[in-house]
A and B are shown apart, each in its own frame.
Chain A
Amino acid sequence: DAKTTQPPSMDCAEGRAANLPCNHSTISGNEYVYWYRQIHSQGPQYIIHGLKNNETNEMASLIITEDRKSSTLILPHATLRDTAVYYCIANAGGTSYGKLTFGQGTILTVHP
């Protein structure tokens, strides 16, 4: 899996959009970008994934640059419950599918 780099921490005001960046400059053409989050002392939760195109679901939006070397996870209206560690992961699938390599992630703190 390609190495990903994320800022160690970010703050966001409740109700505002949270934009979490991720660099994956060595990502290969067949690697997807996944985002998971982990609330304290719980198992990780899948948020979204994408390959080339921008993606949106009920939780978040994923913006992937055209060269695929970076991406941004957007939580459009952050709430206090969104406080968590957010992990950006590149994974190719095939024999490595599902074998996720978690980095240190970004600790997002949403404050009132």
Chain B
Amino acid sequence: GAVVSQHPSWVICKSGTSVKIECRSLDFQATTMFWYRQFPKQSLMLMATSNEGSKATYEQGVEKDKFLINHASLTLSTLTVTSAHPEDSSFYICSAIGLEAQFEQFFGPGTRLTVL
């Protein structure tokens, strides 16, 4: 299957700083990418939908000014957590849908964010 990578795989930062997470589709073009968040012992929660060249669509309750999403190309989407606080510590996972495999959503390995 197609591969989606995330970088970094884990990051530790101080409270108040910003952190950028990259999501790349390695061998296919992703028309749409999604960002999920998963707290310990909980399920994945969709944060936003990202389409190349357009503004992301955020789910209810997700602060768009805090979680900045950029989808500059068909293979790259970035999530920036601005002014991170300890409550933002979570497992962030991206996923992508390609042009051809419309029913299969490919997930990245996730990024573990810890805010001290």
Binding site for B on A (CB under 8 A): 32, 34, 36, 38, 41-46, 49, 87, 97-105
Rounded to whole angstroms, the CA-CA distance of A45 and B91 in the bound complex is 16
Expressed in whole angstroms, the minimum distance between the Cβ of B30 and any Cβ of chain A is 11
One of B34, B43, B103 near A99 (C-beta < 8 A): B34
Partner of B107, one of A45, A49, A103, A104: A45
Contact A46 B105, beta carbon cutoff 8 Å: yes
Residue among A43, A45, A102 making CB contact with B43, cutoff 8 Å: A102
B104 to chain A, nearest CB (A): 5
Count how many chain B residues have C-beta atoms less than 8 Å from C-beta atoms of the other chain: 25
For the complex, would chain B's binding face be called helix, strand, loop or mixed by DSSP majority? Answer: strand
Query: Do A44 and B43 have beta carbons less than 8 Å apart?
Result: no
* A46 close to B97 (CB less than 8 A): no
Distance from B73 Cβ to chain A, minimum over Cβ atoms (Å): 18
Asked whether A46 and B43 contact (CB < 8 A) given A98-B32, A98-B34, the answer is no
Query: What residues on B are CB-neighbors of A103 within 8 Å?
Result: 43
Residues of chain B in range 101-116 having any CB-CB distance to chain A below 8 Å = 102-110, 112
Stretch binding the partner chain, chosen from B44-52, B63-71, B76-84: B44-52
Say if the beta carbon of B93 comes within 8 Å of chain A: yes
Q: List 19 A-B contacts (CB under 8 A).
A: A32-B103, A38-B44, A43-B93, A44-B107, A46-B106, A46-B107, A49-B104, A87-B43, A97-B97, A97-B102, A98-B32, A98-B49, A98-B95, A100-B34, A100-B44, A101-B46, A102-B36, A102-B43, A104-B43
Q: How far is the CA of A90 from the CA of B92 in the complex (A)?
A: 22
C-alpha spacing A100/B103, complex, angstroms = 12
**Using Cβ atoms and an 8 Å threshold, which residues of chain B touch A98?**
32, 34, 49, 95, 97, 105
B1 within 8 A of A: yes
Q: Please indicate the chain A residues that have their CB under 8 angstroms from the CB of B44 in the complex.
A: 38, 44, 100, 102
